[in-house]
Structure 1
Amino acid sequence: MQRVANCILRVNNQILMLKKPRRGWYVVPGGKMEAGENIKDSVIREFREETGLEIQAPELMGSFTFIMKEQDETVQEWMMFTFQTTVCEGKLLELSEEGELEWVDVDEVLTKPMAEGDRYIFKHILNSEDQLYGTFVYTTDFELIDQDMDPSRST
């Protein structure tokens, strides 16, 4: 099972987002964990590699399982650990190998094209201090077909 870590960096009421070239969807910087790497070290390393910025004091805000299904068969599964911080150092890369970096006003984040599960995660994290745990089930075309969240009362 693949494991990934990403981080929502919020500075001056803006979120640093990455527009991925394949679908034109927006995500927050992060990526695959290396063997034996802990999730905090992974998110710091991946964020730096994708943005040039060194995030400080990232806090874990959510842990998620993503399942891709073709008909009723699971064809892929991975875990994602989402952090949040407001502090960073360094100079933002002009070009990232992963896509286009863009500062997005917080009130515009949910209007950007993105996976529906990511939209749910953003909505929760931008409006709550509670950690969120969940499972998202997608088709292989990234159509969200099911989700199970805890806390279930979340936004």
Structure 2
Amino acid sequence: MQRITNCILLKEDHVLLLKKPRRGWYAIPGGKMEQGETIKESAVREYREETELELNDPVLGGIFTFLIYNGQTLVQEWMMFTFLCRSYTGSLTNYCREGELEWITHDAIHTLPMAEGDRKIFEHVLVSDKMLYGSFSYTEDHDLIKYRLDPPSP
């Protein structure tokens, strides 16, 4: 099972997001854990690699399971650990090999193209400090089939 970490960096009423070139979807900066890393070490490293920003005291905000189906057949499963952070040091890079980095207002997030599961995560973390647990099922074409969240969506 693949393990992914990412971090939602909050700065006033903005969030730093990564616009991926393949689909033009916005995503939370992060990536795959390396062997032997803690989830926090992975989140900090991945964030630094993509943004050149050093996160100060990120806090775990959510743990999620993702299931990818081809028809009724499960073809992939992975876990994602999402951190939240309100403080950083450094200067944002001018170039990210993963896509374009943009500061997005909280109000604009609901209109951006992104995975529907990510949208559900933002709906929670922008209004609550409670840990969020979830499971998302997708088709191989990235269509959300079903999801469960604890606590449930408002």
- TM-score by shorter chain over 0.5: yes
2:100 & 2:31 partners in 1: Cα distance?
Answer: 15
Task: Give the AA of the match of 1:15.
Answer: V
Structure 2: 5+ residue stretches without partners: none
Secondary structure of 1:43's counterpart equals helix
User: Which runs of structure 2 are paired with 1:1-155 in the superposition (5 Å)?
Assistant: 1-152=1-152, 154-155=153-154
TM-superposed CA distance for 1:12, in Å, is 2.3
1:12 & 1:61 partners in 2: Cα distance?
Answer: 18
Structure 1: 5+ residue stretches without partners: none
TM-superposed CA distance for 1:150, in Å, is 1.1
2:68 & 2:140 partners in 1: Cα distance?
Answer: 6
Secondary structure of 1:122's counterpart equals helix
TM-superposed CA distance for 1:69, in Å, is 0.2
1:19 & 1:42 partners in 2: Cα distance?
Answer: 21
Secondary structure of 2:148's counterpart equals strand
1:51 & 1:113 partners in 2: Cα distance?
Answer: 21
TM-superposed CA distance for 1:65, in Å, is 0.3
Structure 1 segments of 4+ aligned residues over 4 angstroms from their partners = none
TM-superposed CA distance for 1:38, in Å, is 0.5
1:36 & 1:151 partners in 2: Cα distance?
Answer: 30
Task: Give the AA of the match of 2:22.
Answer: R
TM-score, scaled relative to structure 2: 0.98
Aligned residues: 154
